[in-house]
């Protein structure tokens, strides 16, 4: 039985690296995968998932209005798809999360989503909230704070290095982000 998976972590935990490695494992065995990533960070129509280690792969771009079930169903009808991978899953809409659940439930294709759980203000992203609610399997990918404890939070910094305490949830500018434990995040955010 295929499942919908949500693998979440703070920034710089290696989510994209894990995604690319898993996709490679399928492809190495002659199986076809589809990789999706958000169009929020794409330049032109260039879709790629890139890890900090320098590994990358072409990816299909999804935006807010994309019907992922229809796209995957069409691709699967043309040539069997063994697994679907979604990077930046926090940017999915709740409707798209349900579409991906239908891919697992009705097409029998496993769907592995990778993304952030919370934003820099400690609030859930809409896509992450939906995935936490309905995914069959939840997996935390761990990274560490500068103190050595598990990092579960993200702080956004301005150009001077100070923590940003308000603003849009999704900032496509190239801000500096740091992964912190909850204690250090609270200290930075003045809570």
Q: Catalytic residue positions?
A: 88
Neighbours of 143 (CB within 10 A): 17
CA 139 vs. chain centroid, Å, equals 12
Which one, of 43, 139, 125, lies nearest residue 88 by Cα? 125
CA dist., res. 164 & res. 29, Å (int): 45
CA dist., res. 154 & res. 34, Å (int): 29
């Amino acid at each position: 039985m295929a499942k919908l998976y949500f693998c979440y972590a703070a920034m710089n935990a290696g989510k994209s690296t894990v995604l690319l490695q898993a996709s490679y494992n399928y492809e190495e065995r002659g199986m076809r995968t589809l990789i999706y990533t958000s169009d929020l960070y794409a330049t032109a129509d260039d879709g790629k998932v890139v890890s900090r280690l320098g590994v990358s792969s072409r990816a299909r771009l999804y935006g807010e209005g994309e019907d992922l079930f229809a796209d995957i169903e069409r691709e699967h009808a043309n040539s069997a798809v063994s697994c679907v991978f979604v990077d930046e899953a926090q940017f999915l809409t709740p409707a798209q999360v349900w579409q991906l659940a239908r891919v697992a439930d009705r097409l029998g294709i496993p769907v592995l989503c990778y993304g952030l759980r919370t934003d820099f203000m400690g609030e859930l992203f809409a896509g992450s909230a939906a995935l936490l609610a309905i995914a069959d399997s939840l997996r935390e990918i761990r990274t560490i704070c500068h103190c050595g404890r598990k990092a579960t939070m993200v702080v956004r910094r301005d150009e001077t290095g100070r923590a940003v305490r308000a603003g849009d949830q999704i900032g496509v500018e190239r801000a500096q982000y740091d992964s912190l434990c909850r204690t250090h995040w609270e200290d930075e955010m003045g809570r």
